[in-house]
A and B are shown apart, each in its own frame.
Chain A
Amino acid sequence: MDPKIDEPHVSAPEAAPASAAAATGPGSTRRDFLSLAIRLSGGAMVLVAGGSALGGGAAPKAPGEAYDWEEHLYAYLIDTDKCIGCGSCVRACKTENQVPDGFVRTWIERYVVGMEDSHVDSPNGGIDGFPPLQVGFIATKSFFVPKMCNHCRATPCIQVCPVGASYRTKDGAVMVDGDRCIGCGYCVQACPYGSRFIHPATHTASKCTWCYHRITKGLKPACVTVCPTGTRQFGDLKREGDPVRHAIEHDHVAIMQGHLLTEPQCFYLHLDKEVR
């Protein structure tokens, strides 16, 4: 055996107490040296990463000048008893947000329910209203349910995004960064409410933003602005005396698919058990 190689016949009790100082000393083994090098480089990486994160911490407080997103926390309220299925909201959303043909960011569903059977329809999302309908069973109740992105607090669509394109703002809107989105469609599949789609022109995910360009200017979303019956309401949970906040605090509100624990921020009044 070549005596110059001082490895690897070091017994276990000898190697274990090798300290950092001993590892760099002349009596140290290659194994000790490499393990120390790996640990040091790992530490250096953490330092670099931590340094850049700390450097980023000193950021501007609010988007824009007049608008402070810390002062708002939005919520949406839908009273299904009031909806007449006119589709004004769907048309307004399309005009306001230039939603491509064949897609909707909000839509209306019609439920016709009887003891034996039930029927749900939503022709083109209800954009032209609803046609007369004959069902082959005795309908005991029928109603419209407007649907849209629930802007969930614990939303799966953000969790699955591999590039950090989906995010939730501090004022509560779930949005998509079109510049970062790679159009993989994970979020479209992850959303239990079917509120996302891949835009046919940009090939990126698209969804309701609660009309973020409107609400940050003090306006209501377009769907709320045009709703003729007050079915759709938009409110700010951080504002005293807000009607939506009052309804959520005092009325019996329901959420869609609560068992999924997504914490939706769209609340429903008079929601029927049949609605999924």
Chain B
Amino acid sequence: MEHARHVFRVAFVLVVVLAVVSLARGFLVPKSYGLYGPYRYDNVKEQMNARTPAYAGAGACGECHADEFKKRAAGSHKTVNCEVCHAALALHVKEDGTVVAPPVDRSFTLCARCHRKIIGRPVKFPQVVLEQHVEGPVEGKVCLQCHDPHSPKP
């Protein structure tokens, strides 16, 4: 009888511990944790819907701006996505459909980012030494006065 009471006591403690552990586990471990590995699987879906894509690609721009799209596609800037110079489509067409003017940099710095001759660029890539290309200080000079960015000629 004495021994049986010891067994009962230990078994009772064991059951209580198991109940507490499984209850705590249910509360503390997120629902989808461990489905595919030691991480919360629901986050994969959250990451998929984390935000609306801002960049849409040149094709989306062409739906409204067909002329510029065709001109660009025929010229030497054909590989340059519209959004490189005109900023992301999401900054031009808002989610509710309203259209605002895109923030466009028309200064020489926009063109200089790619075409100013600096150490590091591939030699075959078209580049200009700004100081030799224009007269006077380069700051304030606008490339667009002479060059058409949609179909540029040297």
Contact = CB atoms under 8 A, between A and B. Distances in A.
B34 to A, nearest CB: 6
Given A167-B38, A179-B43, A212-B50, A92 B113 contact: no
Interface stretch (A139-147, A191-199, A241-249, A261-269): A139-147
A168 to B, nearest CB: 8
A254 to B, nearest CB: 18
Contact of A179 (B36, B40, B53): B40
Contact of B83 (A92, A112, A164): A92
A139 B119 contact: yes
Given A112-B119, A128-B109, 8 more contacts: A37-B14, A88-B84, A92-B83, A95-B90, A128-B113, A164-B33, A213-B53, A229-B125
Interface of B: 3, 6-7, 10, 14, 17-18, 21-22, 25, 30, 32-41, 43-55, 57, 77, 79-81, 83-84, 87-88, 90-91, 109, 112-114, 116-122, 125
Given A44-B14, A56-B35, A96-B54, A26 B3 contact: yes
B120 A229 contact: no
Contact of A132 (B44, B54, B116): B116
Contact of B44 (A63, A83, A95, A133): A63
B7 to A, nearest CB: 7
A148 to B, nearest CB: 16
Given A132-B118, A142-B119, A228-B81, A165 B88 contact: no
Given A59-B36, A86-B114, A177-B43, A133 B53 contact: no
A228 B84 contact: yes
A177 B39 contact: yes
B7 A24 contact: yes
12 contacts: A45-B21, A56-B35, A69-B44, A142-B119, A143-B120, A164-B40, A168-B37, A180-B43, A209-B50, A212-B50, A213-B48, A214-B55
Nearest to B79: A228
Interface residues of A, number: 72
Nearest to B50: A213
Given A45-B18, A86-B113, A175-B47, A95 B87 contact: yes
A229 B14 contact: no
Contacts of B34: 53, 56
Nearest to A145: B120
Given A48-B21, A81-B122, A169 B44 contact: yes
B113 A225 contact: no
A62 B88 CA distance: 30
A67 B35 CA distance: 18
Given A167-B39, A177-B40, A226-B81, A209 B54 contact: no
A87 B113 contact: yes
Contacts of B125: 84, 229
Interface in A197-253: 209, 211-214, 216-217, 219-220, 222, 225-226, 228-230
Contacts of A211: 53
A216 B120 CA distance: 35
Nearest to B130: A132
B49 A213 contact: yes
B48 A67 contact: yes
A131 interface: yes
Contact of B54 (A59, A67, A95, A178): A95
A105 interface: no
3 nearest A-B pairs in the assembled complex, by CB-CB distance? A167-B39, A129-B113, A177-B43
A128 B22 CA distance: 55
A130 B53 contact: no
A24 B4 CA distance: 9
A13 interface: no
Nearest to B131: A132
Interface string A3-44: 000000000000000000000101000000100010011001
A48 B18 contact: yes
